Amino acid sequence: MPQNELSLYELNNLLRHVVNKSFPDRYWVRAELSEVRENLSSGHCYLEFVEKSSSGQIIAKAKGMIWSTTYRLLKPYFEGETGQAFSSGIKILVEVSMDFHELYGYSLTVHDIDPSYTLGDMARRRAEILRQLEDEGVLDMNKELEWDMLPQRIAIISSPTAAGYGDFMNQLHHNRNGYCFYTSLFHAIMQGEQAEESVIAALERIYECADCFDGVVIIRGGGATSDLSCFDSYNLALHITQFPLPVITGIGHDRDDTVIDSVANVRVKTPTAAAEWLIDRMEMADVCRQKLRDSIVLFAGQKMDNEKHNIQNMARWLPLLAERILAGERTHCLQIQHDLQNSAGKCIENGSRYLQSLAAQFPLLSERILTGKFAQLERLTISLKMQLPRYVKDEQNKLSMIEKTVELVSPERLLEKGYTLTLKNGKIVKSTQEVTSGDELCTYFADGKVKSKVIK
């Protein structure tokens, strides 16, 4: 049997002594939280630390814990400083001591945490997302959209139970000037793991009826700033940058900008500030309307004064102009009368000459016409004499053909061929339906007739 044989407990006990002796101090360690599990009964928090390579592969892992007394202090301190929930997926810088237990193995005990490191990591992540959007050429697309002069039709993305939504609606619909707004709520979850997907789904529903709205408002209201990480999302920011309507964000924080604040058309601090921005926009349009009204009134007054002055000048000059016009028209009328008299004399003289010419030509023209008509009558007489015998002969031939046809179809000829002709009361019988029992019939043959009486 080997002389250096140890039990597992003995081996682990040796390791514990070595670890405690070799690493007696505390160390600041950078790591990512892959698991955060709080024991509700004891108040302790159990962690799992990981480190990943540039390709995302885990290259180191360690268990960790925070005792309840320390955890009650560190968690609110961290979340208050960073605005980020103490949960899995974040990178942290913690002060730890190393420990090795015979039963539970190697672990790290957390004593302190540096929020500035996490803030820096969050800022780096936001910067990376914004840099990626800029490289893709979409970062400022929503900012470049122009709002309508009267933004009255507003699509709202919020939770219907959120206090911020109620504040927004109250501020908007009870505004000091009584401006009218038409709002539609598109329900979304505004915090937690499902928030990103829920807000994107609401944007897609608005997109289907985008022509019905002038803009979109994303509001969240008060609450813990640790719930804002869902708005530092590349996918959500990408949807907003390429959305066809301008977007306002008012998600209830003013210390740090989220990614969607940086890409939205307008960013305000609170939901009520979003309502005020829309009301101010209406006021600007109202001021422009009033200025235009005043300008129109002023221009119309000046125009009326100018026209009044022109009319007064025309009234002074009108009698003289009328007299000049009448004098000119009188001269013109006299000239026309003189021209008409000259024209009438010339017309009468020309007409008289034309009538005399016609009277001189009438006998010669009459003789020519009568000579032509006599010649035409003589030609017709000769033609009639030549065509009349031929016409009479043709008509005689037609008559002869008709006589032969009549002879062929005459009753006598039909009777000679063996046919008979039956009459009832002097009328030809064409069907058995025309006779009944007791009727007297007369039947003609080629050589005589027979009278009969119908029995059946």
Cα(306)–Cα(309) distance, integer angstroms: 5
Residue 453 is given by DSSP the state: E
133-165 pLDDT per residue, tens: 999 999 999 999 999 989 999 999 999 988 889
Find out whether 260 and 240 touch, Cβ atoms under 8 Å. Answer: yes
Residue 448 is given by DSSP the state: E
Cα(20)–Cα(98) distance, integer angstroms: 7
271-408 helix and 163-173 helix, angle to the nearest 10 degrees:
70
Q: What is the DSSP string of 94-130?
A: EEEEEEEETTTEEEEEEEEE-HHHHHHHHHHHHHHHH
Distances (CA, A) of 128 to 76, 81, 153: 27, 22, 35
171-204 pLDDT per residue, tens: 999 998 899 999 999 999 988 778 889 999 999 9
The pLDDT confidence band at residue 253, using thresholds 50, 70 and 90, is: low
| Helix, coil or strand: residue 58 | strand
Domain 143-285 in the same topology as domain 8-130: no
The continuous run of DSSP H or E covering 300 comes out as helix 271-408
pLDDT at 341 over 60: yes
- Write out the two tokens for 10: 């003995």
Q: What is the mean pLDDT of residues 286-304?
A: 86
The pLDDT confidence band at residue 38, using thresholds 50, 70 and 90, is: very high
The pLDDT confidence band at residue 239, using thresholds 50, 70 and 90, is: very high
Find out whether 219 and 162 touch, Cβ atoms under 8 Å. Answer: yes
Nearest to 26 by CA among 122, 114, 115: 114
Q: What is the mean pLDDT of residues 96-103?
A: 86
Distances (CA, A) of 455 to 165, 383, 432: 112, 71, 13
Cα(251)–Cα(269) distance, integer angstroms: 7
Please state the CATH superfamily assignment of the domain spanning residues 8-130 in this structure: Nucleic acid-binding proteins (2.40.50.140)
Cα(12)–Cα(6) distance, integer angstroms: 10
Question: Average model confidence (pLDDT) for the chain?
Answer: 85
Q: What is the mean pLDDT of residues 339-366?
A: 75
Q: What is the mean pLDDT of residues 255-278?
A: 88
The pLDDT confidence band at residue 223, using thresholds 50, 70 and 90, is: low
Listed in order, strand segments (DSSP E) in 416-455 are: 421-424, 427-428, 440-445, 448-453
Percent of the chain with pLDDT over 70: 96
Cα(285)–Cα(3) distance, integer angstroms: 95
What integer pLDDT is reported at residue 222 of this predicted model? 61
Nearest to 78 by CA among 131, 48, 36: 36
Domain boundaries, the chain: 8-130, 143-285, 413-453
The continuous run of DSSP H or E covering 57 comes out as none
Compare 314 and 71 and report the one with higher pLDDT: 71
pLDDT at 123 over 80: no
Q: What is the mean pLDDT of residues 394-412?
A: 81
State the sign of the Cα–Cα–Cα–Cα dihedral 333, 338, 341, 347: negative
Please state the CATH superfamily assignment of the domain spanning residues 143-285 in this structure: Response regulator (3.40.50.2300)
Compare 394 and 256 and report the one with higher pLDDT: 394
Cα(434)–Cα(184) distance, integer angstroms: 91
Percent of the chain with pLDDT over 90: 34
Nearest to 223 by CA among 251, 199, 250: 251
Q: What is the mean pLDDT of residues 100-122?
A: 84
Amino acid 17 reads H
**Exposed (0-12), middle (13-18) or buried (19+): which is 270, by Cβ within 10 Å?**
buried
pLDDT at 224 over 70: no
What integer pLDDT is reported at residue 158 of this predicted model? 94
**Residue 260 phi, psi (nearest 5):** -70, -25
Find out whether 219 and 157 touch, Cβ atoms under 8 Å. Answer: yes
Beta 182-187 vs 215-219: how paired, if at all? unpaired
Q: Which of 290-294, 315-319, 384-388, 405-409 has the highest mean pLDDT?
A: 290-294
The pLDDT confidence band at residue 57, using thresholds 50, 70 and 90, is: confident
- What does pTM read for this prediction? 0.51
Distances (CA, A) of 324 to 310, 321, 334: 20, 5, 16
